[in-house]
Structure 1
Amino acid sequence: MSKDGCDRPHLKLEMLSNPLYLSGARELVSSVARRLGFADQACSQIALALDEALCNVIRHGYGRRPDGPIWVEVWPLCPAHADGCGSGACVAGEPTPPEALCNGSAPEAVGGIRIVIEDEARQVDPATIKGRKLEEIRPGGLGVHIIREVMNQVIYEKRGESGMRLTMVKFKSPVVPAGDPAAQPGRSCGT
């Protein structure tokens, strides 16, 4: 084990697939994100993505069975990876490399957050995990769309012989001076 703790998550949560525990998981992860220096809006987005992901595990993976295990891990990311490719080691659609992890003891030492959710629920082909079309007006079915919209990196994969793993990454937004054209609403990096 390294002395800075980079070889392990900074938060590990084991819970049952019971909806009663969703609010506690949201509050805990949101609180960690806030302490890592994320703005309130980003903390809310992280909590929303976590909630949607856990709801999908409970509803679709475990078929609403309240006793299935779910594990949540939270890892801070180093500032060099704040844009998802700062070191050249990050590749779109690939898991965040281990060298992107940092000890995250001070908010300014954190460039992002990686959340890993694992379960022992029913396995599905990750390529089939898609949100419904937004043109379809009906309740439900937006969880995957919401997760992909509010997080910067989302990777679904099978977990060994049973269960699934979801890795979600959110990078901190850089502080942009008010007069900078990048500070205009609706603009994102590279557009």
Structure 2
Amino acid sequence: MSSTPQVRLQLPSNPLFLSGAREMVYQFASRCGFSDESCGQLALAVDEALCNVIRHGYGKAPDKPIWLSMTFVGGVATPETQDNNPTEALRIVIEDEAKQVDPTTIKSRDLDEIRPGGLGVHIITEVMDEVRWEKRTDGPIGMRLTMMKKRVPAGKAGEGEKCADGAAEGSSCGTEGSKGQGAA
């Protein structure tokens, strides 16, 4: 009997903790058999999502809770299974206690509009295979973002992988940039 690899982290809404979250996502995905490129995409999507919670959900308040959980679904990645199970994926859930908003209003800005910032939602939807925002129902406040990325078997890179052009340039969040391992 094998266990499902999973991790859950609670962090404050302080941009100083983003690099640790990115590194954790990158390393967890790597250990689950994702390519370096996919690990970087996953870390970038999480970074953008956390930045959105910090900036828009909490109004840059540095002491509010954010929960990040990651679960490898569809099987356990081992050297024996990495090449023959294309349905394996990483599910990432980010939850907060910020004011609830209508999930249908969460949209990327027009890409033709030239200005800094505002591309987080676009990046997230480009690099992930599934993305769903919803109001949390386990309390009076808060939002939940669920993201899924399929693991592409070795030797099949490019099949099903998504990549956001220019996404590795860094984050749009506050005081700490996103450059470094896991964000590029």
The two structures have a TM-score, normalised by structure 1, of 0.74
**Secondary structure of the structure 1 residue equivalent to 2:111:** coil
Q: Does 1:166 align with 2:145?
A: yes
Higher relative contact order (CA 8 A, sep 6+): 2
Task: Select 2:78's aligned residue among 96, 106, 121.
Answer: 106
**In the comparison of the two structures, how many residue pairs are matched?**
154
* Cα contact 2:152–2:160 (8 A) shared by 1: no
Displacement of 1:106 after TM fit? Answer: 2.3
Q: Does 1:19 align with 2:6?
A: no
1:135 aligns with: 112
Q: Note the 1:21-60 alignment, pairs <5 A.
A: 21-60=17-56
- Whole-angstrom CA distance in 2 between matches of 1:118 and 1:172: 23
Aligned partner letter, 1:156 = W
Q: Name the Cα RMSD after superposition.
A: 2.1
Displacement of 1:174 after TM fit? Answer: 3.6
2:175 aligns with: none
Displacement of 1:105 after TM fit? Answer: 5.4
Aligned partner letter, 1:149 = E
User: Would you identify which runs of 4 or more consecutive aligned residues in structure 1 move more than 6 Å?
Assistant: none
- Whole-angstrom CA distance in 1 between matches of 2:154 and 2:27: 21
1:86 aligns with: none
Aligned-pair identity (%): 56
- Whole-angstrom CA distance in 1 between matches of 2:26 and 2:101: 28
Q: Deviations over 1:9-47 (max 9, x none)?
A: 710100000000000000011100000000000000000
The two structures have a TM-score, normalised by structure 2, of 0.77
1:145 aligns with: 122
Q: Deviations over 1:91-140 (max 9, x none)?
A: xxxxxxxxxxx4x2526367110000000011110000000010000110
